[in-house]
Amino acid sequence: MRPLGLVLIALAVLIPVYWFVPIASERDPVALFSQYLGSAALILMGINQFVATRAPGLEIVFGPLDRIYVLHKWLGVIALVAMGLHDIIDAEMSGLRGGALSGIAEDIGEISLYGLMILILASVITFIPYHLWKWSHRIIGVFFFLGAFHFFFIAKPFSNLDPLGLYVSAFCILGIFSYVWMSIVRPMAPRGHRYEVDLVRRVGGLTELVLVPKGRGMRHKPGQFAFLSIDSGGLGEEHPFTLSGAPTDDKVLRFSIKDLGDYTDRLQRMVQPGMDAIVSGPFGHFSMPRGRDPQVWIGAGVGITPFLAFAESLKGRETGPVKLYYCVRERDDIPYAVELERLAEEVDTLELIIVNSAEGIRLTADRIVSDLGGDVANAHVFFCGPVPMRKALKSGLVLKGLKASRFHFEEFEMRTGIGLQALAVWLWDRGIYEVEKRASRKTEPAE
């Protein structure tokens, strides 16, 4: 995530303080603070609706799209907290006269508040099925529109035409426009690059799709991902997948997709050669560095997909030594093992190391450092796989001398929670511990 984007968001939320402070000398400061929180929530929600559009240039300001998804989640959470505090802290002020719609605006504000609270919470509860999550996410904009209506017409100590009113209104309009664009205009407008499914095959537990362009096609870099939708078989919903093939002159694309949910299950059963597809992108900045520094690539399970493209792109390219750790837990055929072994034979700088947990083997930071001959400080490490594994390897390698900035990774799970499940488990375990502790005290013999 780029610091520039975070600074701009912080400034967007803090700038209204410049206009709120003078009002505090004439009005109840506590109620005014509540109104500031409500305004800040609308600003954050307006920005959040905008970053969801995947508009060109967003990655320049905020960083790769996978990080923007994380930013999108936390902006929603912070806005939720601000809305909750706005509701708890009384914002009523004496001496204010609202317009004819102020009473309705107050009621609509309550509807907006509780609707947004429910839907934002639902969006970070990861055990909710994807299709329900997607549906709930689509109507967040409706409740944001109600929140904007509340702001426009509620009685407040400044006018909508004052600089403060115009400023907050601009973010409300930005959010409404972004929602209308994503929900109505974009689905109706021509989008993406048109392709045709040329080949479908099963590779281990993955479904491989090879797509040929029906026009100019799309240029991409190794390691990037794109949004894919199939025009047939009820597969028109867009989903992001990593491009597992290196760029080619004819712009043929390859996706390697694991069955991880309802959509991917339907896709592997129903997709057929000849079907039309739309590809939007590419996105992401997960790409190899220039130079001859040692590189370590770690792909776990389906996380091998970006490294397939990396490995193919090494042909004819001058790089330092590359160690590719392919972490699996397979007892049968390992997807793409033969292809990667062939590439390792063709490219002198590439070494393939298969780490199979089914054989009792685990990849550790100590092993990586040992394989590098202790020269971990000069290496670049690229990781794609489960979050717990990433955190363990990164912390271990940093302790061994790797710079944190040289550990590169993709957000393997774009839909993530905020730790509610871990908190629930901790509270449950803590409650059980306290119950057992009290029970043991009752059964202890008196001295």
Give the chain's length. Answer: 447
DSSP helix/strand/coil, 239: strand
| pTM (two decimals) | 0.72
- Per-residue pLDDT tens digits for 68-96: 888 888 898 899 889 889 888 887 877 67
Region 149-172: mean pLDDT is 91
Q: Which helix (H) or strand (E) holds 225?
A: strand 225-230
Name every residue whose Cβ is closer than 8 Å to that of residue 309 and which is 6 or more positions away in sequence.
222, 223, 242, 243, 244, 245, 246
Q: What's the pLDDT at 433?
A: 46
- Per-residue pLDDT tens digits for 228-250: 888 876 777 888 888 888 888 88
Is the pLDDT score of 178 beyond 80? yes
Using CA atoms, how far apart are residues 94 and 102, in angstroms rounded to an integer? Answer: 14
More confident residue, 36 or 290: 36
One-letter amino acid for residue 243 of the chain: L
Closest CA to 362 of 317, 329, 338: 329
Closest CA to 389 of 407, 364, 411, 413: 364
Using CA atoms, how far apart are residues 75 and 48, in angstroms rounded to an integer? Answer: 6
- Per-residue pLDDT tens digits for 411-442: 655 555 554 454 444 445 555 545 555 555 44
Is the pLDDT score of 218 beyond 80? yes
Q: What's the pLDDT at 267?
A: 83
One-letter amino acid for residue 89 of the chain: I
The radius of gyration of the chain's CA atoms, rounded to the nearest angstrom, is 26
Lowest mean pLDDT among 37-51, 258-272, 335-349, 391-405: 258-272
- Per-residue pLDDT tens digits for 350-370: 899 888 887 878 888 889 988
410, 284 Cβ separation under 8 angstroms: yes
Q: What's the pLDDT at 429?
A: 54
Using CA atoms, how far apart are residues 349 and 343, in angstroms rounded to an integer? Answer: 10
Instruction: Determine what percent of the chain falls in helix, strand and coil, rounding each to the nearest 5.
Output: 50, 15, 35
